[in-house]
Amino acid sequence: MSLVVMKFGGTSVADLNCMRNAARRVKAEIDAGNRAVVAVSAMAGVTNKLIGYVSELSDLHGGCEADSIISSGEQISSGLLALALHEIDVPARSWLAWQVPIETDGAHGKARIKNIDPSNLLTCLDGGEVPIVAGFQGIDPRGRLTTLGRGGSDTSAVALAAALKADQCDIYTDVDGVYTSDPRIVTRAQKLEKVTYEEMLEMASLGARVLQTRSVELAMNQAVRLQVRSSFEDSAGTFVVDEDEIVEQQVVSGITYSRDEAKITLVGVHDRPGAAAAVFGPLANANINVDMIVQSTASDGNSTDITFTVLKTDFEGALAVIKAFGDDLTFDDILTDQDVVKVSVIGVGMRSYAGVAQKMFETLAEKGINIQVISTSEIKISVLIAEEYTELALRALHAAYQLDAP
């Protein structure tokens, strides 16, 4: 008998029919002789609606009242799913975060889970009831409700699986797994049977929107076996596993893209030791994350161009910070471009194969696509290109790395 954490995302509980479908999934797990603990998201669209109310009424985002409002979508889902289970004769009980409890820090809107005491849930299971836990929520040291950031119910599910020492954490969603690229753009994208934690972590943070990045980090650290699978189809999904579980490792496992970044260039920065620190220090202090960076010094050695990217949501903030630079940093001009896309190829196989970057650059060159910024890590290469080439670049790279479905 296994203990499985089953997480249902917003589209999997979007309406009462979906709730009934999710309930049947839970029943099937139990009929198979397993024990299940369920984590739920708010019904699709509900969290957005609640956030809309908050921002229309007040500038106080990310505060404690906001969290009490936007966490309520998950309360509704957990109650409804428990009722749907009762209707098919499966005893179930809803659990809000404070009832478990799921303890977090006090960072409203982006709280981190500190501790989950599994004993109440285990007692519930022993009593023959399926616990249905409201995801996305926590309770802080002052006893106030918190939320874990958008998409945070994935993290709730993984944290529950870790605390319960579950055998597996199944993330039920509206796609049937993790693909080599976005199937809406790359029609020959293939479903991956397995992907490593590290690759999934890169994919999640580089634009594949199947899992919240933090949930993958947690799964990796706690060795939680994850599966991403469809609520609506029976096929096996994609397993997120340790590298040594994958026998035939591809050099590249996935190609992602993100339109979330904007490019800023400071032209003719007066070059001296400390110039980069003078740019990026104030941005960091303003909580603005800088992603890709290139700096090139003019041949006279006196001035330098610094190009970097920030999230589009931080773009205006970044410009404000730059405009407030004092005499510490002088430059000739600011150039900006929001019509850019970051395309990344990801694969742990890159560690042992040379020439992966070269293939990327050649493939893009053949298509006449100019690379504006490059950044790399051990298992990924990202390039910034003009947004209009997104489709062309993804399809060409997918073919070049032999990921196309036969």
Contact 51, 71 (CB under 8 A): no
> 136 touches which of Mg ion, ligand ASP, none (CB within 5 to 8 A by kind)?
ligand ASP
For 175, the token pair is 């796609």
Q: Shortest Cβ distance from residue 251 to ligand ASP (Å)?
A: 32
> 150 touches which of Mg ion, ligand ASP, none (CB within 5 to 8 A by kind)?
ligand ASP
Which of 92, 243, 103, 239 minimizes the C-alpha distance to 160?
103
- CA angle 259/181/371 to nearest 5° reads 50
| Amino acid at site 238 | T
Stretch that binds ligand ASP, among 111-119, 150-158, 254-262, 285-293 (CB under 6 A): 150-158
Query: 112 or 270: whose CB is closer to Mg ion?
Result: 112
SS3 192: coil
Q: Which residues contact 48 (CB under 8 A, 6 or more apart)?
A: none
151 binds Mg ion (CB under 5 A): yes
Q: Which residue is it, tokens 């890590």?
A: 377
Which of 3, 21, 2 minimizes the C-alpha distance to 12?
21
For 325, phi then psi, to 5°, come to: -55, 135
Among 20, 150, 225, 367, binds ligand ASP (CB under 6 A): 150
136 binds ligand ASP (CB under 6 A): yes
Binding mask 40-59 for ligand ASP (x = CB under 6 A): -xx----x------------
Binding mask 57-76 for ligand ASP (x = CB under 6 A): ----------------x---
> 47 touches which of Mg ion, ligand ASP, none (CB within 5 to 8 A by kind)?
ligand ASP
Q: Shortest Cβ distance from residue 138 to ligand ASP (Å)?
A: 12
- Start-end of H helices in 195-297: 197-205, 213-222, 275-285
9 binds Mg ion (CB under 5 A): yes
| # of chain residues touching ligand ASP (CB under 6 A) | 13
Q: Shortest Cβ distance from residue 157 to ligand ASP (Å)?
A: 9
Stretch that binds ligand ASP, among 101-109, 151-159, 169-177, 179-187 (CB under 6 A): 151-159
73 binds Mg ion (CB under 5 A): no
159 binds ligand ASP (CB under 6 A): no
Distance, in Å, from the CA atom of 384 to the CA atom of 395, rounded to the nearest integer, reads 16
Q: Which residues contact 200 (CB under 8 A, 6 or more apart)?
A: 178, 211, 216, 226, 240
CA dihedral 205, 386, 376, 182 (to 10 degrees): 40
Q: Shortest Cβ distance from residue 212 to Mg ion (Å)?
A: 7
Query: 70 or 186: whose CB is closer to ligand ASP?
Result: 70
Find residue 384's DSSP bridge partners. 342, 373
| Amino acid at site 98 | W
Chain residues in the site for ligand ASP (CB under 6 A): 9-10, 41-42, 47, 73, 135-136, 150-154
Chain residues in the site for Mg ion (CB under 5 A): 9, 151
